[in-house]
Structure 1
Amino acid sequence: MKKLIAAAAATLFATFAPAGAMAFEPGNTECIAPANAGGGWDFTCRQVGKALYDLKIVPNPVQVTNLAGGGGGVAFAEVVSKRNGDDNLIVAASSATTTRLAQGAFPGASKDQVRWLGTIGADYGVIAVAKDSPISTLPELFEAVKENPSAVSFAGGSAVGGWDHLKVLIAAKAAGFNDARAIKYVAFEGGGEAVTQLLGGHVQAFSGDISEAKGFVDSGDLKVLAVLAEERLPGEFDRFPTAKEQGIDAVGANWRGFYAPGGMSDEAYDFWVEAIKTVYESDTWKEVMAANGLMPLSRFGGDFEAFVDQQIADTEELSREIGLLQ
């Protein structure tokens, strides 16, 4: 009976192995979310894990382990030092991961210590103001910054130098504001707290992602000045103008995806790259994306690794401009 089961499993999962390679057979698979329950990394693990099982890509439900600490650093260190050869492990990642790697926030860590699998979409950045703000466009906002930088504070749910902060700097630079250190940014524990401070009049603008801003827009509390996307987003999100169409060539996508242990076998790596790609291309995942404001972004395997390289290089440059790196 065991031989029959093994043969059936090999047939089922051979689809995800490259031609000529020994098929990797997933066992008790696990996804580490480098944060507490709730939030983007937890969402990534749980939703993709469910899709992997529902689509019969893995034989058992994917176990989700929440391993918070150090903005993802605790999980990264755990994978590198203790789980390096685990072929059944994947880890949720995002632009926050590459930002911290670029800034040396994970002591002694580098991107080459893990293997980069693929993306499952992007959460595009937005810059917004309170509903009753006299500012109606992104150029107006940055004109106010140029006139009196100390009078305009941006709030976000990431630390100083984090992704929400960097999105403001990307947009400011594209708007012709060259003194990155003069931009006032106030960090909060999450996007919800940042919006609360905006609505209370304590700050003048909000930097976040479309998914976290949508509820506040629907309730009438927020006015989105710009989405940091190449073009207007589809569906109900097409009401929001892009920065580019307002003459500010700024794009900021918070990609969501996965990395794997650096010592993962080539067979397992190829399996997981193809598995994540299959989930991304499925109708099941298209429904999840539409329901949660995720937008298309497809990078897998070597293409994803090159994308990560560029993300880190760009973040290092910006971080030096604001004095976070020498």
Structure 2
Amino acid sequence: MNTRHRKWSSFALAALSAVVLTACSSGGGSGSSDNYPSKPIVVVAPSGAGGGWDKTARSLTKVLGESKLVEKTMTVENKPGGGGAVFMAEYATQDTKNPYRLFVSSPPILINNLKKEGNTPYGYKDTTPLAQLTKDFGAIVVSVDSKYSDIQSLMADLKADPTKITFAGGSAPGSMDHLISVLPAFKAGIDPKSVKYVSYDGGGEAIAALLGGNADVIGTDISSASEYLKAGKVKVLGITASERLGGDFKDIPTIKESGIDAEFTIWRGVFGPKEMKDNEKAYWAEKLKALNESEAWKKELAANSWEPEFKGSEDFSKFLGEQEVLIKEMLTALGMAK
């Protein structure tokens, strides 16, 4: 073999080795994609401990692990800040190819991306929506001794003089409680900017303001109002569901029943990184569907007073696009859209 031929053979072998090594190490250090998952998985709750996202993440990992649906270790990581905006900035830029880090979220992933103040340039389109797991609905709540017993009388007074009625919620202006509070007014033809809204640091403080006479009405989610309803401390004038709920809520009318087309689902779901591979998406499609159908998950839902609603990746993505349109419309009417 002459010198020239030996050099060419060495070059070809080196090039082939580089291709093999590159193929073996692809996936951003996430392990081989073919045997996914091959290491522990983290599910992030973009909040502190104890809130809805945290409870969802812990219930999800507990049931997936205990039922052996996922055999790799699953842990929960809390990443609070900006109602999820701080985490999204990190996730959408640093974890785009990391299928070992998932997260749970709800409508704030849309709201934070669309509002003018305190927003984030990152939203659900910077992720892979894997599945919706639960649903809740907005509720318009008054104290038990309030003069209001139906949404229509409240809207009539609000239309006559919005300065006389104070709404409260457990989140900042432009966030979910605010949007729930003004949705009926907006859909009833009342300028949502005229609705007097006071924000409190959490739903508990908003309820306390209502019961203490510092607010006339609160916008919240029906599950948060449940214990106060059972205790006879509040009345729920209407919910943002398309039809009446069962159980403790069977006598509560939907806002739509009252002639105001105000529907809004407070969902919770699971998301992965934007650049997930097909087999990684297929893995979670199978596991999350099996989770939804398991008795252990049904018991977990009941224990947390969560309503089940499962949507796979494609249907979930379509729904998110539809809800994004409504949220943008409302934020625009409030003068809060970016």
Please indicate, yes or no, whether the TM-score normalized by the shorter chain is above 0.5: yes
CA displacement at 1:64 relative to structure 2: 0.4
Who is 2:92 aligned against?
80
Determine whether 1:167 maps to 2:148: no
Instruction: Give the structure-2-normalised TM-score.
Output: 0.85
Alignment of 1:303-314 (within 5 A): 303-314=315-326
User: Where does residue 254 of structure 1 map in the other structure?
Assistant: 266
Larger Rg: 2
Partner of 2:147: 134
Kept in 1, the 8 Å contact 2:241–2:254? The answer is: yes
Deviations 1:63-108 (A, max 9, x none): 0000001110121122122222211221010012211122264433
- 2:102 alignment partner, one of 66, 90, 101: 90
After superposing on structure 2, the runs of 4+ consecutive aligned residues of structure 1 that deviate more than 6 Å are: none
Deviations 1:182-227 (A, max 9, x none): 0111111111100101111111001101111111112222111112
Q: Which amino acid aligns with 1:192?
A: G
Deviations 1:245-301 (A, max 9, x none): 222222121100111111222211221233222212222222222232322322211
1:293 aligns with 2:315: no
Match of 1:315 in 2: 327
* Match among 135, 156, 166 for residue 122 of structure 1: 135
TM-score norm. by structure 1 comes to: 0.88
Q: What does residue 226 of structure 2 align with?
A: 214
Residue 108 of structure 2: SS of its match in structure 1?
A: helix
Report sequence identity in percent. 34
Bigger shift: residues 262-271 or 314-323: 262-271
The more displaced of 268-277 and 91-100 is: 268-277
> Is 1:66 aligned with 2:95?
no
- Secondary structure of 2:309's aligned partner: coil
Alignment of structure 1 residues 177-256 onto 2, 5 Å: 177-256=189-268
Give the direction of change, closer, same or farther, for the CA distance of 1:115–1:106 in structure 2 (3 Å limit).
farther
RMSD of aligned alpha carbons: 1.8
Does the CA contact (< 8 Å) of 2:99 and 2:280 recur in 1?
Answer: yes
Following the alignment from structure 2 to structure 1, what is the Cα–Cα distance between the partners of residues 121 and 111?
15
Amino acid at match of 1:131: V
Partner of 1:151: 164
Match of 1:112 in 2: 125
Q: Is the 8 A contact 1:26 1:88 kept in 2?
A: no
Equivalent residue in structure 2 for 1:41, among 37, 41, 53:
53
In structure 2, distance between residues paired with 1:26 and 1:311: 35
SS in 2 for 1:144: helix
Unaligned runs of 5+ in 1: 1-20
Listed as ranges, the matches of 1:1-40 within 5 Å are: 24-40=36-52
**Paired residue secondary structure (1:86):** coil
Once residues 228 and 267 of structure 1 are traced to their aligned partners in structure 2, the CA distance between those partners, rounded to angstroms, is 37
In the aligned structure 1, how far is the partner of 2:320 from the partner of 2:113?
A: 10
Q: Unaligned 5+ residue runs, structure 2? A: 1-32
Write the distance in 1 (CA, Å) between the matches of 2:208 and 2:189.
Answer: 27
- Are residues 1:265 and 2:277 paired? yes
The number of equivalent residue pairs is 305
**What SS is found at the alignment partner of 1:84?**
coil
Kindly provide the amino acid, as one letter, of the partner of residue 147 in structure 1: A
Q: Quote how far apart the aligned CAs of 1:149 are.
A: 0.2
Residues in 1 aligned to 2:101 and 2:283: alpha-carbon distance in whole angstroms = 12
Return the letter of the residue paired with 2:229. Answer: V
Give the Cα separation in 2 of the matches to 1:267 and 1:213: 41
Task: Look up the equivalent residue of 1:113 and give its one-letter code.
Answer: D
In structure 1, how many angstroms separate the alpha carbons of the residues matched to 2:292 and 2:249? Answer: 20
Q: Does 1 or 2 have the higher relative contact order (CA < 8 Å, sep 6+)?
A: 1
302-311 or 95-104, larger mean C-alpha shift: 95-104
One-letter identity of the residue aligned with 1:58: V
Moved more, 225-234 or 292-301: 292-301
- Relative to structure 2, which stretch is displaced further, 235-244 or 205-214? 235-244
Distance 1:250 1:107, change over 3 A: closer
